[in-house]
């Protein structure tokens, strides 16, 4: 079955393709001729996931799933949250975002955080949401070269390595996105949608 994944983020598409069974053909926004930036103007992670999925369904008529993710830091009242990719401003830059977060956490002893992903699925006229959350800690300096975003400074609870030290397979098994995608896939399999 074909499903549009409302993303042009090559890293995310790679991660998703690793997680989804081969019975599902994941096609990107480029594959359907969508080259515009889909507005992400909601003030919640859930809201942005819904905006992206609805945009594709309304404008292109496809069954689609979209995701939005964010890093929520307890002592910063959930920031950067919905603003995770643009925390240090425009243009978005992972290194500058990490620098800003580390500066904001300087001298703070509470470094608890979580990554949260919400997937919105629009299929057969229905809309469903699937959420994945992984708790962890923000360390004081970057370690590792894999992954993207805040991966070099996030260590999941129960682990000693950052997300950036894990392989895609290792990260996918435990990550927020991995959890949400697993719920999505279980739903699709249970409905025998085709």
| 91-102 confidence digits (pLDDT tens) | 989 999 999 999
Whole-model pTM: value is: 0.88
**Active-site residues: which are they?**
68
pLDDT in tens, 7-29: 877 777 877 777 777 778 888 99
CA–CA dist 123, 102 (Å, integer): 40
Q: Choose among 119, 28, 12: nearest CA to 68.
A: 119
- Give percent of the chain above pLDDT 70: 98
CA–CA dist 59, 122 (Å, integer): 13
Burial of 149-179, coded b for 16+ CB within 10 Å and e otherwise, reads bbbbbbbbeebeebbbbbebeebbebbbbbb
- Sign of torsion over alpha carbons 114, 102, 98, 76: positive
* Amino acid 11: pLDDT: 76
* Amino acid 131: pLDDT: 98
CB 102 within 8 A of CB 153: yes
């Amino acid at each position: 079955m074909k499903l549009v994944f409302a993303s042009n983020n090559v890293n995310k598409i790679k991660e998703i393709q690793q997680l989804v069974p081969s019975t599902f053909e994941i096609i990107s926004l480029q594959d359907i001729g969508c080259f515009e930036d889909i507005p992400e103007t909601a003030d919640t992670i859930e809201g942005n996931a819904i905006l992206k999925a609805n945009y594709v369904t309304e404008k292109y008529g496809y069954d689609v799933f979209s995701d939005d993710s964010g890093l929520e830091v307890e002592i910063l009242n959930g920031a950067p949250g919905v603003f995770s990719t643009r925390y240090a401003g425009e243009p978005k830059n992972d290194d500058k975002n990490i620098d800003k977060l580390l500066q904001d956490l300087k001298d703070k002893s509470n470094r608890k955080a979580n990554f949260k992903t919400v997937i919105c699925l629009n299929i057969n006229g229905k809309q469903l949401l699937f959420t994945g959350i992984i708790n962890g800690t923000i360390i004081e300096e970057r370690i590792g070269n894999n992954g993207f975003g805040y991966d070099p400074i996030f260590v999941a609870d129960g682990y000693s390595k950052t997300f950036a030290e894990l392989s895609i397979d290792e990260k996918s098994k435990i990550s927020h996105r991995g959890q949400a995608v697993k719920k999505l896939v279980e739903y699709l399999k249970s409905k025998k949608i085709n």
